[in-house]
A and B are shown apart, each in its own frame.
Chain A
Amino acid sequence: MNIGVIRFPGSNCDLDVVSALSATKCLAPKLVWHESPDIENFDAVVLPGGFSFGDYLRAGAIAARSPSIARIKRLAERGTPVLGICNGFQILVEAGLLPGSLLRNSGLKFVCRWVTVKVENTHTPLTRSLKMGQLLRLPIAHNEGRLFLPDEELASLRKQRRVVLRYVDDSGKLSASGNPNGSRESIAGICNEDGNVVGMMPHPERAADPIISPDGSTDGMAIFRSLATLSL
């Protein structure tokens, strides 16, 4: 299964994503510059984290108007898995591939720490081999991660079961203390109606090797392994 990891000017998690995808041993990730027409030839694409175009205007806003987005939209329409991590999620939201807005964190600070998230949807390419309610320890590192949706859109997202991940406290419960950025209903990840486009603020690629996890967590690999099951 050929996976493209799309590099924008300012992407900085691209190599970690490639490394984590390679570690599944079933996926053949390839770095691809955002202007490359090759984007449309992949079986899946990942928009990695970073600060595309310096995060100017709004995080993800300029990348979302770059020529590559038309290609990514065509992939998404064909049902190809498209994963946006952190800045990649911000790009997907700015491009209209996912609903809502990612606003500045409620604490007005860049938040960089490990969090616990709960799996709420196992019908996406990234969560298909996970269990409902499964808890994952993953790091976050962002300044604009507060998902905002008006009440009616939030209700429709919930009704369509498009919330993929929620922030929870260490005991697995929804709580204000478990919500690091003030996202509505503690949402950490969502998907589109067909479930093939997924955006998440936590960084699974940074929880893929025990040597860089404070508690040895490699929970992020569960997400990449899920994607790898598509190639079996």
Chain B
Amino acid sequence: MISNKKAARDPEGDVIHRDLVKSHFPQAKSVRVGKLLRFNVEASDSLEARDLVRRMCDELRIYNPAAHDCQIGMGRLIG
């Protein structure tokens, strides 16, 4: 998941929260928007898979380290 660093404003997330979500679901305290990339890789275990994806993201500059956070998760999405 690639999203703006905390210190960088996220106007899209702010608008989704303020003009859409908040009035229907006041429990939602904030919304941050990101871009999700799903990789299907060959690896012997999950640790190797995670390392491989981390290297791809760093070496190919899939995210901009100056402005973005890049979180790597494993497994299926729930829901």
Contact = CB atoms under 8 A, between A and B. Distances in A.
Interface in B7-58: 11-12, 15-16, 19-20, 33
> Would you call the interface of chain B mostly helix, strand, loop, or mixed?
helix
Interface centre among B16, B20, B33 (most CB of A within 10 A): B20
> Would you call the interface of chain A mostly helix, strand, loop, or mixed?
loop
B28 to A, nearest CB: 14
A232 interface: no
Contacts of B19: 53, 62, 66
Contacts of A173: none
Nearest to B11: A54
Contacts of B11: 54, 56
Interface in A56-99: 56-57, 61-62, 65-66
Contacts of B33: 56
Interface of A: 53-54, 56-57, 61-62, 65-66
Interface of B: 11-12, 15-16, 19-20, 33
Given A53-B19, A56-B12, A65-B20, 4 more contacts: A56-B33, A57-B16, A62-B15, A62-B20
20 contacts: A53-B15, A53-B19, A54-B11, A54-B12, A54-B15, A56-B11, A56-B12, A56-B15, A56-B16, A56-B33, A57-B12, A57-B16, A57-B20, A61-B20, A62-B15, A62-B16, A62-B19, A62-B20, A65-B20, A66-B19
